[in-house]
Amino acid sequence: MDLDYVCTRAGRVASALTRRDVARALLDVPSGVALVALPELRRAMLAAGNPLSLTFWESARTILSSIESGAATVGYVQRWIESTGSEPILMTPSYFVWPEEDERGPVATEMFAKLVHYLEARVEAGEVDPDALALGDQAARRAYEELQEEWLNRPLPDGRVPGLAVNDEQDEELFAAWDEEEAFALSELRRIIGELPNPPELPAWELERASARLRELLSLPGYPANVLRACAGFESSPMPDDDRALWLAVAAGIAGPVSDLSEADDTLEEGDDLESELRHEDSVLANLCAIQHADWLAAVAALTRLGPGVLASPERIAQLIAESEDIDVDEQGVDDLAVTESLFTPVVTLWGYLGIVDHDDVLTPLGWWGLPKALERAWSSGD
């Protein structure tokens, strides 16, 4: 490693190199190599008329020695890079988080580069003191953080707000990945249903009775009615008159909740227990949203193949998912099974209100017929 390497990596001549350029180059090679090269690199920078500062070179030796000895943490190294004065803070005090470098989309890459350029200008103008940052000056650090917070929330000449633009791009990438996963799960579900030798038939009498109970339940305040209404989206749209449509909407909502609790359900009245009912309802919805497409597919595929009369308890569902050949499952430990079981515990409870399982958590003919149809409905809302 030498000065030419640093210049090539940064795309700049030696006289224009910043502390960040040098620091990133030092971290780009093994720490032992960087430590050996450090004295000559410092002399070369001095000869080029860009000596940086004694504080920087001492901090570089300290961090490289710490890395070489195995004592440095990722956070410690990140903090040192940020102390160069032109490295954006990975996570700001307001919890804006930059994506990892190899995970940045075009917008994040552009905004990151713009912020680096902005910070370089602030260092040049004397508004950022890298030596103070390297020495751990708390006031300098707070000012550095505030400077970046302000930039992230200030519109650019083209009207874009950097922080919002980066978050929007990440959201789009997340939604695209989610849609792709959902589309694949849906195609697999349809394949599995299509291969059944004896597809389940609609148990009309069971559906009529379950729907009547469900309508009565949904008219009540509190749990579980408010969670079921939120799952089906009935807080913002009317309940269908058709029994089949009603039942499938609620069953599908359990696999893919449409909305959160309404404002009325989220509001505590005097005397309400903050630690119990409201927290339980939020926890139930959080559990439903945390279940992955693959786990839903494995569970419903297994229950559909096994048919009515099979045990569908949370413990059994966790085991069926762990043993599934429909999804790629790593070897499951006791802790993994326990997590899956905990996620499906509220699912099975809610299934009981729909007649999908009976009071012993056994799959009913209605559940056998309805589960694959409900899951297909949950995943095909965008079709």
Dist CA 35 CA 48 (whole Å): 20
Please give the structure tokens belonging to residue 111: 């905004």
Could you tell me if 253 and 378 are in contact, meaning their C-beta atoms sit under 8 angstroms apart? yes
Q: What is the pLDDT of residue 368?
A: 95
DSSP type of residue 234: T
Q: What is the pLDDT of residue 183?
A: 86
DSSP type of residue 157: T
Q: Are residues 280 and 337 in the same domain?
A: yes
Dist CA 25 CA 19 (whole Å): 10
Longest CA–CA span in the chain (Å) reads: 90
Last residue of a domain, one of 116, 133, 160: 160
Could you tell me if 134 and 63 are in contact, meaning their C-beta atoms sit under 8 angstroms apart? no
Three-state DSSP class for residue 115: helix
Q: Are residues 150 and 274 in the same domain?
A: no
DSSP type of residue 287: H
Number of H helices, E strands in the chain: 18, 0
Euclidean distance between the first and the last CA atom of the chain, given in angstroms as a whole number:
55
Provide the domain limits for residue 284: 196-379
Q: Is residue 188 part of a domain?
A: no
Dist CA 383 CA 381 (whole Å): 6
Angle at 145 between CA 110 and CA 17, to 5 degrees: 55
Q: Are residues 143 and 223 in the same domain?
A: no
For 295-309, the DSSP string reads HHHHHHHHHHHH-TT
Dist CA 57 CA 51 (whole Å): 10
Could you tell me if 67 and 31 are in contact, meaning their C-beta atoms sit under 8 angstroms apart? yes
Q: What is the pLDDT of residue 171?
A: 85
Q: Are residues 141 and 201 in the same domain?
A: no
Q: Are residues 135 and 204 in the same domain?
A: no
For 117-143, the DSSP string reads HHHHHHHHTTSS-HHHHHTT-HHHHHH
Tell me the three-class secondary structure of 146-192, residue by residue. HHHHHHHCCCCCCCCCHHHHHHHHHHHHHHHHHHHHHHHHHHHHHHH
Q: What is the pLDDT of residue 274?
A: 44
- Which residues have CB under 8 Å from 185's CB, separation 6+? 293, 294, 296, 297, 379
Q: What is the pLDDT of residue 206?
A: 94
Q: Are residues 206 and 258 in the same domain?
A: yes
Q: Are residues 223 and 132 in the same domain?
A: no
- Count how many domains the chain has: 2
Could you tell me if residue 162 is left (phi over 0), alpha (psi between -120 and 50 degrees) or otherwise beta?
Answer: alpha
Last residue of a domain, one of 108, 138, 160: 160
Q: Are residues 137 and 259 in the same domain?
A: no
Per-10-residue mean pLDDT for the chain, 383 residues long?
A: 90 93 93 92 93 93 91 89 92 87 90 94 93 93 93 93 91 82 86 82 92 93 90 84 94 87 53 52 87 92 93 94 80 73 94 95 95 92 51
Q: Is residue 257 part of a domain?
A: yes
Q: Are residues 14 and 132 in the same domain?
A: yes
Q: Residue type for 121, please?
A: A
Q: Are residues 202 and 134 in the same domain?
A: no
In sign, the C-alpha dihedral spanning 364, 368, 369, 374 is: positive
Dist CA 298 CA 326 (whole Å): 6
Q: Is residue 25 part of a domain?
A: yes
For 61-113, the DSSP string reads HHHHHHHHHT---HHHHHHHHHTTSSSPPSB-TT--BPPPGGG--HHHHHHHH
Q: What is the pLDDT of residue 332?
A: 53
Q: Is residue 84 part of a domain?
A: yes
Last residue of a domain, one of 160, 179, 213: 160
Q: What is the pLDDT of residue 277?
A: 46
DSSP type of residue 15: G
Q: Are residues 140 and 259 in the same domain?
A: no
Q: Is residue 180 part of a domain?
A: no
Q: Is residue 296 part of a domain?
A: yes
Q: Are residues 25 and 132 in the same domain?
A: yes
Could you tell me if residue 365 is left (phi over 0), alpha (psi between -120 and 50 degrees) or otherwise beta?
Answer: alpha
Q: What is the pLDDT of residue 271?
A: 47
Q: Residue type for 251, please?
A: A
Q: Is residue 165 part of a domain?
A: no
Q: Is residue 217 part of a domain?
A: yes
